[in-house]
């Protein structure tokens, strides 16, 4: 009871909770003027750490107010379950202009007066793919410059409340939240919303959308950009339309805008590759009956007279080559003359894709004023974790300012641990691949024996060969292992990247990306490399077969080759990955 009274007293003293009625869809404080730029939520669960969390929140929110932010709390009675408090955060003009200068945010200085490009003669043909002009360009294009607090008269400041876009305001508040201290524990200075979320002091921290996605906001001061994006872009029936990248950038920020620009460009280029691939597939389909190798395998006078050795050492009989007639015909779909052309085409395609994307990216960097973005990030965006953990300082020879730094010996030790961890996980992938190969060898003989001795399987034995049955089950098993390893490694990769203490956000993302790329490349494609380059190469010959671990006889490819198995492997892994990704991104939310 004493703790409860103490807590209620803290709430009353800290903030006055205005009881005036307000729509739950509002993106403003209760006064209807100050915009909500960020929200923190927490639950006052009365456990043994309750008082410690209370003190952290009290100190943290007090420091936020000292930094110039304004706070307003929604009582738990206002929440749907009656348990959650919401702390609304507003950044006033003084805070925005101070940190806009710190973050080097570029803002408009005058409207762009460069004449637009000459109209494309294909515009009339592409008209069905276009979106309305007000969606594609919701505001005029401007010349911009980095914001300076002392030169405000140079900028187009018509309205202080809308001068900085919501994504800019969110970025500024997030910058403050990640660096705001909340006390000292165990002799160390503690700071940042990330730690408070990890230790359960707050349950969530997020910016607000401007409205519900399915209806416009009732507030006339709200632009309802989320609703516009949903109606014109984020719907399945709009998949063929061009993307409103300017609006995406304005609403979500440059990072998300660049991602969707890349995704759209990638999809367009893949469409071209898919058309060529479909033509090659159709060529294989129409020439299936003219394939000489499958003709000879299917011919009773040729393939029917060739007796093949047993597929396993025990319980397997001799068999005739023409029993694999159907599988050899189907393998022609993916293994024909057009396949060679398609391989050459894809080699050219991937080069063109990279070069065209560089060009597209350069254009976006110019249009969105991101030309110096990477350099600015490197110079300005020291990670708060780096500043906190690097207690030693040295003078920067360029700026002549004292900066935190990590000693070389500490860096070397951290890189060694990081490299050893990545190497261990890559070794784990190789070990799991060997385990799948052992599974293939173990069940291959069982499938061969089962299909020879089971009468009910005889009608489909021509299509479902022991090789294909083994490949399908092994591919499914391999996919499950891939997803499990990927799930755990994602967390390990983040942990070891945090341990390295990268200096800037750019360095952090680059290191994390490299670790994930290396791991996922080996994880997803090691089994495909085995089928493509190793399977069937070390079989031996009758009377002197080679065995893995002196126990399991090495498996052979289908008489028509291993490409149909490779296709099966890729299809299961890639399709499974896409299905799982869609479940996570669309169905679960």
Report yes or no on 450 lying in a domain.
yes
Q: What is the pLDDT of residue 567?
A: 87
Report yes or no on 542 lying in a domain.
yes
Euclidean distance between CA atoms 581 and 475, whole angstroms: 18
If you ran DSSP here, which 8-state letter would residue 222 be given? Answer: -
| Segments in the chain below pLDDT 50 | 10, 12-19
Euclidean distance between CA atoms 281 and 333, whole angstroms: 6
Q: What is the pLDDT of residue 345?
A: 96
Question: Which of 208, 225, 257 is the C-terminal boundary of a domain?
Answer: 208
Report yes or no on 64 lying in a domain.
yes
Q: What is the pLDDT of residue 453?
A: 64
Report yes or no on 252 lying in a domain.
no
Phi–psi pair at 484, nearest 5 degrees: -65, -50
Euclidean distance between CA atoms 16 and 10, whole angstroms: 11
Rg (CA), the chain: 31
Which domain does 507 fall in, by range?
406-588
Partnered with residue 552 across adjacent β-strands are 548
Question: Which of 176, 192, 208 is the C-terminal boundary of a domain?
Answer: 208
Q: What is the pLDDT of residue 18?
A: 47
Report yes or no on 530 lying in a domain.
yes
| 157 Cβ neighbours under 8 A, 6+ residues apart | 163
Nearest CA-CA partner of 324 in 308, 313, 347, 336: 308
Q: What is the pLDDT of residue 440?
A: 83
Question: Which of 208, 227, 258 is the C-terminal boundary of a domain?
Answer: 208
CA dihedral sign, ordered 579, 580, 581, 584: positive
How many domains are there within the chain?
A: 2
CA dihedral 408, 414, 418, 423 (to 10 degrees): 70
Pure H helices in 287-336: 292-298, 325-331
pTM score, whole prediction: 0.81
525-554: burial string, b at 16+ Cβ within 10 Å, e else: ebbbebbeeebbeeeeeeeeeeebeeebbb
- Where does residue 312 fall: left (phi above 0), alpha (psi -120 to 50 degrees), or beta otherwise? beta
Report yes or no on 142 lying in a domain.
no
- Where does residue 561 fall: left (phi above 0), alpha (psi -120 to 50 degrees), or beta otherwise? left
Report yes or no on 48 lying in a domain.
yes
Q: What is the pLDDT of residue 17?
A: 44
Report yes or no on 135 lying in a domain.
no
Q: What is the pLDDT of residue 553?
A: 81
Q: What is the pLDDT of residue 15?
A: 45
Q: What is the pLDDT of residue 408?
A: 85
Nearest CA-CA partner of 519 in 423, 583, 434, 454: 423
């Amino acid at each position: 009871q004493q703790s409860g009274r103490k807590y209620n007293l803290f709430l009353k003293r800290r903030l006055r909770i205005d009881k005036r009625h307000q729509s739950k869809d509002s993106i403003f404080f209760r006064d209807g003027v100050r915009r909500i730029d960020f929200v923190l939520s927490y639950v006052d669960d009365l456990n043994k750490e309750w008082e410690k969390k209370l003190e952290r929140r009290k100190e943290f929110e007090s420091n936020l107010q000292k930094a110039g932010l304004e706070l307003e709390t929604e009582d738990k009675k206002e929440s749907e379950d009656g348990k959650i408090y919401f702390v609304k955060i507003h950044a006033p003009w003084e805070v925005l202009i101070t940190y806009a200068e710190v973050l080097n945010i570029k803002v408009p200085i005058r409207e762009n007066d460069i004449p637009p490009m000459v109209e494309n003669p294909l515009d009339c043909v592409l008209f069905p793919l276009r979106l309305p002009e007000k969606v594609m360009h919701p505001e005029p294009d401007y010349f911009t410059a980095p914001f300076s607090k002392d030169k405000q008269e140079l900028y187009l400041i018509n309205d202080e409340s809308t001068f900085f876009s919501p994504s800019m305001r969110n970025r500024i508040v997030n910058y403050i939240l990640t660096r705001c201290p909340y006390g000292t524990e165990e002799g160390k200075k503690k700071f940042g919303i990330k730690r408070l979320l990890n230790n359960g002091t707050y349950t969530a921290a997020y910016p607000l959308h401007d409205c519900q996605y399915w209806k416009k906001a009732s507030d006339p001061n709200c632009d309802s950009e989320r609703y516009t994006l949903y109606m014109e872009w984020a719907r399945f029936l709009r998949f063929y339309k061009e993307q409103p990248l300017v609006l995406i950038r304005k609403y979500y920020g440059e990072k998300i805008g660049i991602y969707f620009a890349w995704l759209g460009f990638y999809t367009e280029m893949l469409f071209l590759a898919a058309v060529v691939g479909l033509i090659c597939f159709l060529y294989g389909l129409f020439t299936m009956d003219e394939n000489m190798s499958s003709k000879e395998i299917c011919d009773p006078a040729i393939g029917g007279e060739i007796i093949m050795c047993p597929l396993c050492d025990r319980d397997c009989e001799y068999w005739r080559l023409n029993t694999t007639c159907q599988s050899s015909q189907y393998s022609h779909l993916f293994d024909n003359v057009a396949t060679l052309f398609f391989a050459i085409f894809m080699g050219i395609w991937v080069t063109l894709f990279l070069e065209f994307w560089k060009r597209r990216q350069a254009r976006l960097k110019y249009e969105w004023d991101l030309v110096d973005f990477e350099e600015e990030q490197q110079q300005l965006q020291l990670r708060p974790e780096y500043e906190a953990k690097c207690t030693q300082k040295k003078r920067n020879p360029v700026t002549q300012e004292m900066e935190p730094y990590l000693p070389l010996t500490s860096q070397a030790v951290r890189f060694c641990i990081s490299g050893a961890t990545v190497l261990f996980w890559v070794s784990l992938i190789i070990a799991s691949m060997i385990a799948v190969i052992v599974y293939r060898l173990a069940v291959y003989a069982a499938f061969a024996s089962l299909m020879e001795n089971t009468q009910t399987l005889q009608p489909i034995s021509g299509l479902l060969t022991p090789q294909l049955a083994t490949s399908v089950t092994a591919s499914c098993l391999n996919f499950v292992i891939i997803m499990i390893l990927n799930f755990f490694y994602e967390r390990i990769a983040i942990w070891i990247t945090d341990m390295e203490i990268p200096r800037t956000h750019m360095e952090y993302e680059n290191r994390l990306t490299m670790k994930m790329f290396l791991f996922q490349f080996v994880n997803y494609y090691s089994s495909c490399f085995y089928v493509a380059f190793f399977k069937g190469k070390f079989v031996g010959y009758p009377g002197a077969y080679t065995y893995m671990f002196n126990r399991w006889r090495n498996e052979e490819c289908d008489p028509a080759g291993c490409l149909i198995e490779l296709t099966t492997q890729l299809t299961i892994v890639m399709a499974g990955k896409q299905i799982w990704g869609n479940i996570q991104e669309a169905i679960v939310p």
